[in-house]
Amino acid sequence: MAATRPATKRDGFTSTLGVLAATLGSAVGLGNIWKFPALTGANGGAGFLLIYLLATLLVGLPVMIAELTLGRHARANPIRALRMLAPPGQPWWLVGVIGMLAAFLIMAFYSEVVAWVFVYVWKSLEGSALSSDPAVTEAAFAAMVGNPWVSLVSQWLVLLLIGGILVKGVAGGIEAVTKRLMPLLFLLLAGLCVFSLTLDEAAAGLAFLFKPDFSKVDAAVVLTAVGLAFFKMSIGMGTMMTYGSYFRSEQNIPLTAGRVMVADLAVSLLAGIAIFPAVFTFGFEPTAGPSLVFITLPAVFAQLPFGQGLMLVFFILTSIAAIGAMLSLLEVPVLVLTERLGLPRPLAIGVCVLAVAVPGAGCALSGSVLAGVRVAGLTFFDLMDFVSSNLLLPVGGILIALFAGYVWGRAAFTRAVSNGGTLRNEGLAVVVLVLLRYVSPLLIGVVMLNGLGII
């Protein structure tokens, strides 16, 4: 059956600023707030930063450029793009299917964490969950996670919000919203940094983050850095391919990817500068993950002047960071459904929201009624995280690197990266191609095998 193309113009980003805001919106997320700063501090400060920088340059940027370029060239969802660009009969489109699956699994647990952040915006307004005693903040967090209705309903609200923005379209929804939210994020973060730097133990916090300690850098740390670069830059699952399909033809892709990488790094560093001076000033442990955001930080805020207001600002900015990431995740299957099945956009969004809500409920209830349910020793929540981060994303990343590096071909790749020869990007394209062929697949492969406990 011949697929019929809709006659209407394809939706897409309308300006360079819009492209930047949306793409950065995808990269910036919960990862900047709770993963990056704590991992940097715990793994050797500036030494880790250097390795992370190398990982983004050698793996993150090339794969991001490849995804954006493939998407823009095909102007289609990842499954269709790979089917169009692959030689006949080769099932590269399956990489798009893996990506879509990864998007669903990530959304299932990510949306629950975003839901907690939203609940904490509310708690900040109320002033509840604010106590200088970490035992009290821990109990407040446990009560929220252990309440099935709060967990479920807040997750549904997050999904409805994201779906509601996406209904407005790519330009009218994703671009319009991220263009407003990204500057606000930087502003709020900068404000928190200035405040944090005035605290007594600011120097200790900064030392934790930036003091180089190369003795901590070993193979495991290198692997952590590569894995982090991957998650941070939203690559390996077709998100960037989807967004690339909305890029304008004249957009300079390597330049855009470079800017996104630098701005994303800036958000991560600013988050560290905002968080650690405060954590050290009150003698807390610099942990990572939920305990940092939902247990330690509220205890820190309780001891600061204007603590309630600062806590509100912090959770609002974390919500802002998470919204852009969620938009890009949900857009992946939405585009597939609209293009593949010809569903109207609102219907496609409705179907996808429902489809996320099912595994999402498994994650939401992991802390309460499903707490005892384990698969391979993991709760539903941890299982989704493990399968997507340690399995599907790296496999997708390797295959995308190999596809762009070997299958699509040097001539097609360099032409597409240099916008048909109008940009002087050919030399750069060759460097990216070499990295895609020889460096990225190898590094990602090692990270994956390590994540699976094989090496």
Joined together, the tokens standing for residue 157 give 């609200």
Question: Is there binding between residue 237 and ligand PFF (CB under 6 A)?
Answer: yes
Give, as ranges, the residues between 13 and 32 that touch ligand PFF (CB under 6 A). Answer: 26-27, 29-32
Question: Is there binding between residue 331 and ligand PFF (CB under 6 A)?
Answer: no
Give, as ranges, the residues between 307 and 326 that touch ligand PFF (CB under 6 A). Answer: 325
- Please state the closest distance from residue 240 (CB atom) to ligand PFF, in A: 8
- Please state the closest distance from residue 228 (CB atom) to ligand PFF, in A: 9
Integer Cα distance of 452 and 367 in angstroms: 24
Question: Is there binding between residue 232 and ligand PFF (CB under 6 A)?
Answer: yes
Integer Cα distance of 190 and 271 in angstroms: 9
Question: Is there binding between residue 231 and ligand PFF (CB under 6 A)?
Answer: yes
Question: Is there binding between residue 79 and ligand PFF (CB under 6 A)?
Answer: no
Q: Locate tokens 């109320």: which residue?
A: 126
Among the candidate windows 48-56, 226-234, 245-253, 345-353, which touches ligand PFF by CB under 6 A?
226-234
Integer Cα distance of 78 and 68 in angstroms: 10
Binding to ligand PFF by CB under 6 A, coded x per residue (else -) over 91-130, reads ---------------x------------------------
Q: Is 198:274 a contact under the CB 8 Å cutoff?
A: no
Give, as ranges, the residues between 164 and 203 that touch ligand PFF (CB under 6 A). Answer: none
* Smaller CB separation from ligand PFF, 32 or 224: 32
Integer Cα distance of 132 and 64 in angstroms: 42
Question: Is there binding between residue 329 and ligand PFF (CB under 6 A)?
Answer: yes
Tell which residue, 455, 435, 28, 444, has the closest CA to residue 239. Answer: 28
Question: Is there binding between residue 328 and ligand PFF (CB under 6 A)?
Answer: yes
Integer Cα distance of 163 and 367 in angstroms: 25
Phi, psi (degrees; rounded to nearest 5) at 375:
-120, 120
- Please state the closest distance from residue 177 (CB atom) to ligand PFF, in A: 15
Among the candidate windows 11-19, 139-147, 216-224, 234-242, which touches ligand PFF by CB under 6 A?
234-242
* 376 φ/ψ sector (left φ>0, alpha ψ -120 to 50, else beta): left
* Smaller CB separation from ligand PFF, 78 or 298: 78
* Smaller CB separation from ligand PFF, 44 or 60: 60
Indicate the Cα dihedral angle 424, 427, 428, 429, nearest 10°: 100
Question: Is there binding between residue 68 and ligand PFF (CB under 6 A)?
Answer: no
Integer Cα distance of 85 and 401 in angstroms: 14
* Smaller CB separation from ligand PFF, 106 or 433: 106
Candidates 40, 234, 281, 296: give the one binding ligand PFF (CB under 6 A). 234
In sequence order, which residues have a C-beta less than 8 Å from that of residue 374 and are 6 or more positions away?
none
Joined together, the tokens standing for residue 254 give 């390597």
In sequence order, which residues have a C-beta less than 8 Å from that of residue 164 and are 6 or more positions away?
none
The residues of the shown chain that bind ligand PFF, judged by CB under 6 A, are 26-27, 29-32, 106, 231-232, 234, 237, 239, 325, 328-329
